[in-house]
Homo-oligomer: A and B are copies of this chain.
Amino acid sequence: MDRIDYKILAALHDNARISISEISRMIAMSQPAVTERLRKMEDQGVITGYRAELSPTKLGKHTTAFVLFKSNSCKEFEAFGEASPEIIDLYRTSGEYNYLMKVVTESSETLAAFLDACHVFGFSTTLVVLSTRFEDKSLVEGIED
């Protein structure tokens, strides 16, 4: 993992569908060399996947919320969580609550219905997202030459 690897990661974080040839031009290295470095980073698990980012709004999902949750039937709650399409992210956390989840629903009504379903497993505090300032800032610094 040297500076060249970080540049490759930065390019792919910015646009995961960029061609390897284009990266190779950007960093002035042959295309097979970039391919090989990339393959190694994938094998090592530095890169965990490539995802298209979709607009919730354009897909009819107009409400995003973070739900803090306290459950004492963790196993059941986690099974419920995996089966719930509304839950996009699920984390175990320290503090008064033991879970935090990001929830995306069509409307505040469907959010309320989802929360009702959750309350079989424990209790919650909900923070509704009013606006997203930014998301998915890169973990790798834009290293300049």
Which A positions have Cβ atoms within 8 angstroms of B?
Answer: 9, 12-13, 15-17, 44-56, 58-59, 61, 64, 66, 68, 78, 81-82, 85, 87-95, 97, 100, 104, 125-137, 139-141
Contacts and interface: CB of A to CB of B under 8 A. Distances in A.
A81 B135 CA distance: 11
Contacts of A126: 95
Given A59-B139, A88-B139, 17 more contacts: A12-B51, A13-B51, A16-B52, A44-B58, A47-B52, A48-B55, A50-B50, A51-B51, A51-B53, A89-B136, A91-B131, A91-B133, A92-B132, A93-B128, A93-B129, A97-B127, A100-B129
B92 A129 contact: yes
Specify which of A59, A81, A104 lies most central, judged by the most chain B CB atoms within 10 Å of its CB: A59
B51 A130 contact: no
A140 B59 contact: yes
Contact of A133 (B48, B64, B78, B97): B78
A90 B130 CA distance: 11
Contacts of A82: 133-134
